[in-house]
Amino acid sequence: MANMKPVPAREFDLARDTLRQLNLYLHKRAVSDGISQVSVVHPDGAHSIACGLDAELDVHIHGHVGYYVAGMNQHATVTVHGNAGPGAAENMMSGRVHIKGFASTAAGASAHGGLLVIDGDASLRCGISLKGADIVVGGSVGSFSAFMAQAGRIVVCGDAEDALGDSLYEAVIYVRGKVRSLGADARFEPMTDTDVAAVSSLLNAAGRPDDPGSFKRVASAKSLYHWHADANQEY
């Protein structure tokens, strides 16, 4: 172990460096400089930190961030040691985004792939229009979470507010706590061995100790898949 080489790293201080300098370095210079780990201090709620990354970088942001942290992420691992504003990991394609605190509205919106981990609570519309990513929330989620979620999996270790899974398609939600209400066309279904194994895998990936057998499955009843002319707008 004594012969292990240190990981090539670079630090940005947003009390001194500009956000543009940071993001430009992450996009254009880090890989060519041989840097694999970037540390960001004093983010002070800055928006759009580490957006659109497309390399296997390990980015640690020490503090709270604003809108769209790690949006459109590909390949990179982004860890926020604090809370995140709206749209964290929005439209993520791959990689891993870890919010150590709480996440505001629309965390993981339209995410296609990768893993989003939120240690605290997530606000309204977590996983809205999810398109294939996995989301693990250590706390609770707000109303209309997983609204129109098309593919992917969401694990909620706490409770869920109103209209969970409204207008679900093929995405599946696993909830450990109480669900205030389900949205249109969402329903509880029996947990199978395959579901328990999936939850166990996701909890392990997120570093969570929860019992995978204590979750409930929420999926689509599929009555909204087709429009019926005679339904008189009642589904």
Spell out the per-residue pLDDT of the chain, length 235, in tens.
455 566 679 999 999 999 999 999 999 999 999 999 999 999 999 999 999 999 999 999 999 999 999 999 999 999 999 999 999 999 999 999 999 999 999 999 999 999 999 999 999 999 999 999 999 999 999 999 999 999 999 999 999 999 999 999 999 999 999 999 999 999 999 999 999 999 999 999 999 999 999 999 999 999 887 666 666 655 4
Determine how β-strand 216-220 pairs with β-strand 186-189: antiparallel
Say which CATH architecture domain 36-226 belongs to. 3 Solenoid (2.160)
Give the pLDDT of residue 6. 62
Give the pLDDT of residue 224. 80
How many CB atoms neighbour CB 150 within 10 A? 17
Tokens of 225: 């898949």
User: What CA–CA distance (Å, rounded) separates 230 from 45?
Assistant: 50
Tokens of 112: 């296609």
Which residues lie closer than 8 Å to 213 by C-beta, 6 or more apart?
191, 196
Residue whose structure tokens are 């929330």: 137
> Domain residue spans in the chain?
36-226
Burial of 45 (0-12, 13-18, 19+ CB in 10 A): middle
